[in-house]
Amino acid sequence: MALPALAVSPASGQLTGRGMDGFYRDGRRVLSRCELRVDGDEPLVVQGRLTGTDRARFLGTVRRAGERGPDPEIRVERRRSADGTEQITFRSSATRPVRLTVEIGLGTDLAELGAIAVGLPGPELRAAVHGAGLRWSGTGVHATVSATPSPEDALASAGLLRWDLDLPAGGHRSIELRTGLEYEPGGPAGHRRRRLDARIPAPRTGAVAPRPRTDRPPRPWTAARLECDDRRADALMATSLDDLHGLLMRDPEAATDMYVAGGFPWRCGLAPVEALWTARMLLPLGTRLAAGTLRALARSQQAAPGVDFGRIPGALRDFGPHSPPSCTGIEATLLFPAVLAEARRWGLPERETERLLPAAQRCLTWLRRITDAPAGRRGGYVPDPVPGGPYRCETQAHAHRAALLGADLLDASGAAGAAALRDWAADLRTRFRRDFWLEDPAGGRPAAQLTADGRPVPYLGSTTAHLLDTGLLGGGTPAPGLLDAAQTDQLAGLLAGPAMDSGWGLRSLGSKESGYNPFGHRSGAVRVHETAIAAAGLAAAGHEQAAGSLTKGVLDAADSFGHRLPEMYAGEQRTTGGAPVPHPAACRPAAVAAGGAVHILVALAGLRPDVPAGTVSVRPLGTAPLGAMQLTGLCVAEQPFDVRVSRLGMGMVETAAEGLQLGS
């Protein structure tokens, strides 16, 4: 994957035209079939693997009539790149020259990615011979495949290219294929900004947009590395950052602004919530991604006067059997000022903070208006969706964090309104502890939500982990949470219990709750980024054993997934010798899963920066769940930051910006 280009195939490397197989660009399938045959037979593929987020290698052998013994003499290697190029190399170990008849069957339907993902591809189009290859035409768009060297035969009716290759003894020959996508003047644009956070990419309709730049954007984060006693953690960190680069996109309205797409196949465009969470989780690697993401979303913000003034648009998303759909736009609106405030703590330059402050103020204006409006008079809580609710516990946690970190931001800039936000947050804490906390013989639990008429819904799910994620204030101090100390300890015990901790991560719904389904994406499946949020929140609250258990569970799961974590996987209980079960509808790679992996690993070092005050503290987990570790190439105050954690959980800063004082 190297968005807006990607390639999908099974481990055999053969593109069969079935399922999601194909080369894609700009959300359209450029090539659906690319089937290799040698002397009439398919090669026997012995290995297929990713060699990078944007590259794959497939290695096979060719058996020919008359060969003696079990050892193949002809090897075939296919090196495929997401940008639509493929090199096929034949290598001979024979002691005499060999002639091979090579055929490649090609085809495409030029279908939209969204239609293919839900099982609605189009019919295969008829090909025409075009230069050194073939060409297919749709409405206003054409797909091409060209080959080097030129084929001896090009059969348009069969979609077939054919060569007779002469391999000298011990020699090799290669064929290179290049796919392309062409647009007629005035036809559909090659790149279009998708509906924000749409579950399926939107069709291309409307005015023509400019073609995108085809060069890959540079990584807007540092080249961070992890060296850990548990080497699997090193591989997870490296793979996750590589995956995020594959998902990185330029904003079509400002090419210097970059954000990560939500994930393949469902969210290959800007998904506000996923983009913000990922940017926040990567703040220890620099603030450039956060700045670009915030600027892109500020351009989408509702600026017209009215009830939606200040809100960031977002689609509804399903929320499982116990709750109506929630609105991603509400979460993004509440997350925006918190990400900006924390980016400032990590070292976002003041000029960038000032540039983004008006958008953050509009988000905070929306927050205060929606809790004062008649539709939100249920104790001043934030309904999600607006206006009818319900009032979700995690939405109140997002609102509380936005108010406190937003007030911190306003104070730093000298803007008015900080005191009113803090008063509102203090009142919310008092009411939340009264209205949302449900006492029971086991010690109580937070309600997952209040209905529109104020009735608590008591099921236990992973969204309660957001109550532990309070955000950072000055001096690296965590902001106060909606729960008091005793309630926080009780919630920590519930999240660490077997009903929630599957052994591979945190279930989205406790296994003892009605409606539990280990494959339910909001009713039992493990969601990686919420597990990461829970682990970091538990560590900050002093529950290191529980945090370490979740961290090791995710690391074990990542090992099973080849270190490319999906956004979710089945919440079935871990057993001896078992493995996590993939979810059939999960994005993989997924921005929040890759970002969550980075977050859960960096959280072990316990970094708490306050660059405006010139301080940073290091408070690693004393339990050192993964043993000794060294993080190099982090970024605090826009300067390199390296930290080492011993097996005894002692932290030592090895590289830091000049003048940055180390706190306790």
DSSP string for residues in 485-528: HHHHHHHHHHHHSTTTB-SSSBBSB-TTSTT--TT-TTTT-EEH
Cis peptide before 284 (omega within 30 of 0): no
How far is residue 587's CA from residue 606's CA, in Å, rounded to a whole number? 29
Helix runs in 22-65, H state only: none
pLDDT of residue 539: 96
pLDDT of residue 70: 82
| Nearest CA-CA partner of 610 in 336, 356, 342 | 342
How far is residue 195's CA from residue 203's CA, in Å, rounded to a whole number? 9
300 SS3 class: helix
Give the tens place of pLDDT for each residue, 82-102.
Answer: 999 999 999 999 989 999 999
Give the C-alpha distances (Å, rounded to integers) separating 548 from 492, 499, 530, 544.
Answer: 13, 17, 15, 6
pLDDT of residue 405: 98
Residue 113's φ and ψ, nearest 5 degrees, are -55, -40
Indicate the pLDDT class of residue 186, thresholds 50, 70 and 90: low
DSSP state, 136?
E
Average pLDDT in the chain: 92
pLDDT of residue 187: 55
Weakest-pLDDT range from 28-37, 212-221, 343-352, 462-471:
212-221
Interacting residues of 485 by C-beta distance below 8 A, sequence separation 6+: none
pLDDT of residue 216: 82
| Nearest CA-CA partner of 44 in 66, 70, 19, 21 | 70
Interacting residues of 66 by C-beta distance below 8 A, sequence separation 6+: none
Interacting residues of 534 by C-beta distance below 8 A, sequence separation 6+: 462, 465, 468, 495, 506, 547, 550
DSSP state, 232?
H
Q: Does residue 447 contact residue 502 with C-beta atoms inside 8 Å? A: no
Once rounded to an integer, what is the mean pLDDT over residues 215-234?
A: 94
257 SS3 class: strand
Once rounded to an integer, what is the mean pLDDT over residues 324-344?
A: 97
> pTM to 2 decimals?
0.91
Amino acid found at 660: L
Indicate the pLDDT class of residue 191, thresholds 50, 70 and 90: very low
What is the distance in angstroms between the CA of the first residue and the CA of the last residue of the chain? Answer: 42
Residue 614's φ and ψ, nearest 5 degrees, are 75, 30
| Nearest CA-CA partner of 109 in 88, 136, 129 | 136
Cis peptide before 4 (omega within 30 of 0): yes
Q: What percent of the chain has pLDDT over 70?
A: 94
Once rounded to an integer, what is the mean pLDDT over residues 524-548?
A: 97
Once rounded to an integer, what is the mean pLDDT over residues 365-370?
A: 94
Indicate the pLDDT class of residue 262, thresholds 50, 70 and 90: very high
Asked whether the predicted pLDDT for residue 266 surpasses 70, the reply is yes
For 456, the enclosing helix (H) or strand (E) is strand 456-457
Asked whether the predicted pLDDT for residue 206 surpasses 90, the reply is no
Give the tens place of pLDDT for each residue, 624-635.
Answer: 999 999 999 999
pLDDT of residue 195: 33
pLDDT of residue 49: 93
Helix runs in 137-230, H state only: none
| Nearest CA-CA partner of 84 in 160, 3, 172, 189 | 3
133 pairs with which residues across the strands?
130, 146
How far is residue 247's CA from residue 411's CA, in Å, rounded to a whole number? 35
pLDDT of residue 67: 72
476 SS3 class: helix
Indicate the pLDDT class of residue 378, thresholds 50, 70 and 90: low
Q: Greatest CA span in the chain, whole angstroms? A: 86
Asked whether the predicted pLDDT for residue 293 surpasses 60, the reply is yes
pLDDT of residue 664: 62
Residue 336's φ and ψ, nearest 5 degrees, are -55, -55
| Nearest CA-CA partner of 460 in 483, 471, 441, 444 | 444
Indicate the pLDDT class of residue 531, thresholds 50, 70 and 90: very high
pLDDT of residue 443: 94
Q: Does residue 405 contact residue 346 with C-beta atoms inside 8 Å? A: no
Token pair of 62 as six digits: 């060719």
Helix, strand, coil share of the chain (percent; to 5)? 30, 25, 40
Once rounded to an integer, what is the mean pLDDT over residues 501-519?
A: 96
Token pair of 2 as six digits: 């190297």
Judge residue 594's burial from the number of C-beta atoms within 10 Å of its C-beta, 0-12 exposed, 13-18 middle, 19 or more buried. buried
Polymer length in residues for the chain: 664
Helix and strand element counts for the chain (H, E): 12, 34
Asked whether the predicted pLDDT for residue 207 surpasses 70, the reply is no
419 SS3 class: helix
Once rounded to an integer, what is the mean pLDDT over residues 142-154?
A: 96
Amino acid found at 15: L
